[in-house]
């Protein structure tokens, strides 16, 4: 059970660090424009229309660079589900050891611009690591024989002679 409690502590530290050091920014971008977030530069390359099995979507192509070097290309979508006429945002995520990058595509704006939300969340792996350590602690605790078998006491009864 000690291992599971260590997992809870790692999880709490991870949540605290993510909330303390996360950064986000909303920007109105046209294709070809970029926005900076810390050491990352997010550039909206293009917007294209995509047809899915039960939706139509505007898919953005966003390239991400860190310190001038390419990191990844993300494809967030703004979907309209045709049956319910419901609009949903499908965020694009670039997971990494030092943190995760998120890009969400918002509403189209006048003049060909789009609302784009970019986020950097460091220490997300601490949250997942804490969950894994908790699960490991639970498995170790469940494998302990003291918790699996009911302890029976033998009573000694003296028989008179």
Q: Are residues 68 and 9 in the same domain?
A: no
Residue 148: what pLDDT? 61
Q: Are residues 127 and 146 in the same domain?
A: yes
Q: Are residues 109 and 70 in the same domain?
A: yes
Residue 17 DSSP class: H
User: Which residues span the domain enclosing 102?
Assistant: 23-121
**pLDDT tens digit string along 122-159?**
988 888 889 999 999 988 888 877 766 665 666 666 77
**Mode of pairing for the β-strands spanning 55-66 and 69-74:** antiparallel
pLDDT at residue 102 above 90?
yes
Q: How confident is the model at residue 84 (pLDDT cuts 50, 70, 90)?
A: confident
How far is residue 14's CA from residue 47's CA, in Å, rounded to a whole number? 35
Contacts of 82 (CB under 8 A, 6+ apart): 54, 55, 56
Between 14 and 60, residue with greater pLDDT: 60
Q: Are residues 47 and 117 in the same domain?
A: yes
């Amino acid at each position: 059970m000690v291992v599971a409690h260590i997992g809870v502590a790692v999880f709490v530290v991870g949540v605290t660090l993510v909330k303390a050091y996360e950064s986000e920014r909303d920007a109105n971008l046209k294709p070809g424009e970029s926005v900076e977030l810390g050491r990352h530069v997010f550039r909206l390359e293009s917007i294209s229309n995509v047809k899915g099995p039960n939706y139509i979507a505007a898919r953005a192509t966003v390239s991400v660079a860190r310190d001038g070097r390419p990191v990844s290309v993300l494809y967030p979508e703004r979907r309209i589900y045709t049956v319910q006429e419901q609009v949903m945002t499908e965020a694009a995520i670039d997971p990494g050891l030092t943190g995760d990058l998120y890009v969400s595509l918002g509403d189209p704006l006048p003049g060909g611009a789009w609302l784009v939300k970019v986020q950097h969340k460091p220490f997300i792996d601490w949250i997942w690591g804490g969950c894994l350590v908790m699960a490991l602690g639970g498995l170790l605790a469940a494998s302990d024989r003291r918790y699996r078998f009911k302890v029976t006491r033998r009573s000694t009864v003296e028989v008179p002679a």
